[in-house]
Each structure stands twice: as structure tokens, then as C-alpha cells.
Structure 1
Amino acid sequence: MSSPPWDYIAKLVCIGDSGCGKSSLTIRLCEGRFSPQHDVTIGVEFGSRIVPVGPPHTKPSAPATEGGLPEPPRAINTPQKHMKLSLWDTAGQETYKSVTRSYFRGASGALLVFDITRRATFIHVTDWLSDLRAIADPDIVVILVGNKVDQARDDPVGNYTGRREVTAVEAEEWARANGVLQYVETSAKSGENVEHAFMRVAERIFDNISAGKYDLNDRRSGVKGPGPGSAGAAHLRLAPSANRGVMGGCC
């Protein structure tokens, strides 16, 4: 039996209010496309993506020599590791909160998403984070994502317009105050920073794996290594879901 194309599987959840673009971010990462309209998420939907983690993918920049020139590249013998991100895109409607909370269990990472053009969605991230930490593992890796940055740049030269209701400084301060790894602004429409947001979570999870913080044989840890019969998909995909609702806006 051939080895699977991944070394680890990590469960990530996308959480936040309805209409923030959680599904669009997942589709952009898994399929590389954007759809202006799609079905409203009911309960949870799934996607997956295999990404490189650790060195040599994340090797640091070489330090400069005394003369100001960088050191010549050195041979790296560390084999590249790959992580399969199992993405759980949860519904944001209050109606489904009791259902979506159950999917927080066993998650090793979370993207806490809000819409930078709707301040109310930013205010609610405090409640989402509280729910997450009450259910998920204490060491869960959380990143704050301000989505729809493209809608705040309607000016032809890229200046921010009055549609932005949450500043980057405010969101960064909130992330620091609440022990969140980082704040990243994204656009599911253009793809801006989408991969970066997911990769920041994946890399921190890999750091935690290297530090021995997870029991890879315990599914409750949110991370596992390859086992017998685990032949992860080698391609990018968004798994079809039976939990589909009526057509609606970006959620």
C-alpha cells in the first residue's frame, strides 16, 4: 500500500456571523474560485487542502554577512512535511448555533471571520471566541480574519472608502488583547491573503506538533498522523454536502 501524500491531518473550523464570507474563503482555498452567490450554509460543510508545512517550506531568510551580503544557500536535508487541512465551514445563523458549536470539539485550529464592512459582525467575534474556547481544546490555534477587504477599496487607486467599518488597528488590538495568533485581512473575491490566513494556522499547528503538544493517536486532539488505510486525497476539493439551503448571498 502506498503512503498517503500527507504526514498529518488537522481539523480547522471557520466560524463567525452569517454573510461574512466563510464559505467563500473555504471555496477559494480549496477550489481557487469565487462565486458571487451560492447556497446558504446549513449546519456545516466540508473541504480539504493539502499544504506544505515546516522546513524547507518555511526556512528563515539567511542572515547578512559583515559585508551586507546574504549567506549562500545551504543544503537542507529535512524532508518536506505536508498537512491535510480538513476544513469545517459552519453556519453563522443564530438558529444553527447549537448545532455548529458541536463541531468545535476536536478542532486544532479556527478562523474567526468577520466582515470589515459590517461592524456588528466584528462585535460578535467576542461571543464566537468565547463559545469556541468553552468547547474546543485550550491550545486551539485561532486567527482573526477581516474579510471583504475588496469592498472597502472602491476607489480606482485602491484607497479605502467609507464602506470600511472596522479599522485594521482596532482589529489587531482586539487580537492581541484576546490571545489570538494574528489578524489578517482577506478578500475571498480576489483571493488576497486567503492562503496566507490558512497557512498561518497550519504552520502554528505544525509548531505545536513539533513541540509534542498533541497526541496523534487521540482523535480529540484535532491532529493525527497517517495510519493504516488513510489515503488522503491528493487533489484540492470541496466535498459535496447534503446540508444545502436556498440560494443566497456570500456566507
Structure 2
Amino acid sequence: MRQKMGEFDGSVEYDYLFKIVLIGDSGVGKSNLLSRFTKNEFHLDSKSTIGVEFATKTLMVDGKTVKAQIWDTAGQERYRAITSAYYRGAVGAFLVYDITKKQTFDNIQRWLGELRNHADPNIVVMMAGNKSDLSNLRTVSEDVARELAEKEGLSFLETSALDSTNVDKAFQTILGEIYGIVSRKALAAQEAMTPGQGTTISVSDDSTGGIGRTSCCS
């Protein structure tokens, strides 16, 4: 049932491919969360993302090999029209704000609105309060953020791309939630699959869009 990953990860094989998007205002640390999780790197001089970048990481979830394909979308307003197409096929989203900049937290509702306009309604969303290493400069309390997350039905963690706090936990949590949603339907779908193919997961019913070949979450 596995398919080789091809050009991105050499000969490594996967059982599931999950597309996840990182969204939030510019400067909240989305790119460093991505590089910390996928390469265990942090760059103090990282520049704002222009357009879209992505990276991948393979890990085990409930005994299955999962390839996470994580897209880093630019936070600047002028790039939003470009990046909106990349919500298609996403089964997970990280909604990131900076705990030291209240405006980035205040804009969470706007980003949630964009998700609901462009992404599948079944997408799994985690809200991440980044830069927890700067707690002495905090302008958004953890309790207030957690209350919003609970109100909106989102998972929530505070993270630090600088010192790695909760970064792996956050990604593992969202991947586990996605796997829990898709695994039941994927089991039925596998019965009709040609032997030797991998299972690429997409929540979208549009078979021509995104990265998915099999719709398992709609």
C-alpha cells in the first residue's frame, strides 16, 4: 500500500500524506516553526516569506508512516491572493500568533474567517502562541488565548521555535488528530485501491485540486 516519496525524500516510503498550512501575520515565526520541526534549525535573521514555501518531514503516527507536507504561507496582505489557492487539499492548519504582539492575536479571527472561506470545513486547526521564550514581554495571556481556542473548537499550545518548546508536540498533536479522522474512512478506501499505491489524503471532494488522490475526510 506504500508509495515511494520520490524527489523530496529519496527512497523513504509513506502510508499517508498530510498537507498542513501555516497561517498568521507576518513576523510571528511561522518559517522558524517550520524549520525547527523539519530540520531542527532556527534562524535569527530569517526574512519574511514571499509567496509560499514548503518542507516535509516523515514520522510515525499510531504505527503508520506519515509524511507531513507543511506549507508556509506569507502573512503580508499583498500575498494573500497568491496563497489562498494553497488551502485546497490541506487537512490541517496552524494558526500562529506572537504572544508579545497583541495585534497578531487580535487578527486570529480574521485568519479563521479566511480558513473557513477557503479550506475544507473538516480541516483540523491548532492555534499556536509562538515565542513563549519571551514570556517577560508577553502581551497575550495564555488563559485568554486558551479561552478563544476552546470557543472556536481549536487545539492550542504555546510554542517557541527558538528553544524548541512544544514544537514537536504541536505538530504531533495535529497529525494525530488528522490521522484519527481519516483512518476509519481510509480503511474502507484501501479495499478499492490498486496494490502498490500509497494513500494521499485530501479533505477536498475536488479530485483535481490540492495534493490528494483519495478523499478521506469529507
* Residue 203 of structure 1: aligned partner: 176
Aligned-residue offset at 1:220: 5.7
Larger RCO (CA under 8 A, 6+ residues apart):
1
Structure showing the higher helix proportion among its residues: 2
SS at match of 1:38: coil
* Residue 184 of structure 1: aligned partner: 157
Letter in 2 for 1:14: L
Match of 1:18 among 22, 26, 30: 26
Distance 1:97 1:20, change over 3 A: same
* Residue 71 of structure 1: aligned partner: none
Q: Which of the pair has more CA radius of gyration?
A: 1
1:142 is aligned to 2:116: no
SS at match of 2:185: coil
Distance 1:24 1:218, change over 3 A: closer
C-alpha separation in 1, matches of 2:127 and 2:76:
19
**RMSD (Å) for aligned C-alpha atoms:** 2.2
Matches within 5 A, 1:40-51: 40-51=48-59
Match of 1:130 among 98, 105, 113: 113
Identity %: 41
Residue segments in structure 1 that go unaligned for 5+ positions in a row: 55-79, 153-160, 227-251
Distance 1:201 1:225, change over 3 A: farther
Matches within 5 A, 1:73-88: 80-88=63-71
8 Å CA contact 2:29–2:130 kept in 1: the answer is yes
Residue segments in structure 2 that go unaligned for 5+ positions in a row: 5-12, 190-198, 205-209
Match of 1:96 among 71, 76, 79: 79
Matches within 5 A, 1:112-131: 112-131=95-114
8 Å CA contact 1:111–1:144 kept in 2: the answer is yes
Letter in 1 for 2:69: S
Q: Deviations over 1:167-202 (max 9, x none)?
A: 11101110011121x110000001110011111110
Match of 2:46 among 38, 50, 55: 38
Q: TM-score of the superposition, structure 1-length normalised?
A: 0.71
C-alpha separation in 2, matches of 1:3 and 1:9:
10
Aligned-residue offset at 1:211: 2.8
Letter in 2 for 1:171: A
Structure showing the higher strand proportion among its residues: 2
8 Å CA contact 2:53–2:73 kept in 1: the answer is yes
